[in-house]
Amino acid sequence: MSCTTLTAISRSIDSFPALPSTASKVLKVTNDPESSARDMMEAILPDQAMCVAILKVANSAFFGQPREVSSLEKAVMVLGFNEIQSIVLGKAVFDIFRHISGFKEDMDRFWNHSFNCGLTAKVIAQSLYLPQGSFFIGGLIHDIGKLALFMTFPNDYPPPLWLATFPTPLMEKNERMVFALNHEQVAGRLLKRWFFPSPLIQAIEFHHAPEMSPGITAHALILSVADSMTYFRTCASSMDAATIDQYMAKIYPDLQSIWLSAGLPWMDDMLHNWHEQVNREHHTNGILMNLFSS
């Protein structure tokens, strides 16, 4: 492990801008059990761009509200603190990294994968009656450690090799050997600096090894499965159940036992059902990517 490399990563993380004030205020509100809906609105209202983004997301197919959400107050009441927090944090992180110059094709592939991973995690969470917004944001930002490594070592972390490729065990090993930390660990350090919620940090830190997560293993496992499903979805958007099961069995030989040990219900054809649901939602939820990038 190179002390010089670790020092460079630490300095790079310290040099990242702080979260926008709106995001910091929202984190403070959600971390205070005594906070009210009025506190949340007061944290967001000064940021008109964020207000507009929240209303657009609240009225998108993502949440599928039966009635129009016409005010921030209604959005807070209908969506709840956790979903509002997810929208605000997701947009804040996206804005920090969106201005990376060069390598447009690789960056587009990176964000396309990230968005689809978020969408897949959301579909999985929804089927399990878990808060879908936090899982979507987890998928959206799960690989930001790669961006941090690229910004720290632009000549040694080439985007065509690292940004939008599925990390094999050998690549993971090489990443740790060359850069002292893997991209999950770098992401964890950065998110801790920004005081992100601990369950989200742990899920991202262990999305390639969810069985090693000391925290809420289910969160990391769902992100891990969503990540893998997203990669093979880019190869073929239409797959039968048997093909999907075979693909996932190569990555997770003991997926069913791991899934059950995480306290999650196992259902026949669930992988195929998720795959088909993501295909259905991909186009209708495309507005989300435009919102985060606007």
Residues of the chain whose pLDDT is less than 70? Answer: 1-3, 64-66, 215-216, 235-239, 241, 283-294
Spell out the residues 6+ positions from residue 45 whose beta carbon is closer than 8 angstroms to its own: 51, 72
- By CB atoms closer than 10 A (0-12, 13-18, 19+), residue 153 is middle
Q: If we measure between CA atoms, which residue out of 55, 111, 115, 110 comes closest to residue 83?
A: 55
Length of the chain in residues, anyone?
294
Here the tokens at position 180 are: 């002292």
- State pLDDT tens for residues 262-279: 899 998 889 888 988 888
Tokens at 215, concatenated = 């925290």
Whole-structure pTM value: 0.88
pLDDT at position 222 is 95
- Give the pLDDT score at 1: 47
The contacts of residue 280 (CB under 8 Å, 6+ apart) are none
pLDDT for residue 287: 61
pLDDT digits (tens, 9 = 90+) for 91-113: 888 888 877 877 888 888 898 89
Domain spanning 3-293 has what CATH number? 1.10.3210.10
Q: What is the pLDDT of residue 124?
A: 95
Calpha distance 186→205 (Å, rounded): 8
Domain boundaries of the chain, sorted by first residue: 3-293
pLDDT for 247 equals 83
Q: How far apart are CA 206 and CA 239, in angstroms?
A: 28
Alpha helix segments (H runs only) across the chain: 3-15, 21-30, 37-44, 48-58, 72-79, 81-97, 104-127, 132-140, 144-152, 159-162, 169-179, 183-193, 198-205, 217-235, 241-251, 255-261, 270-284, 286-293
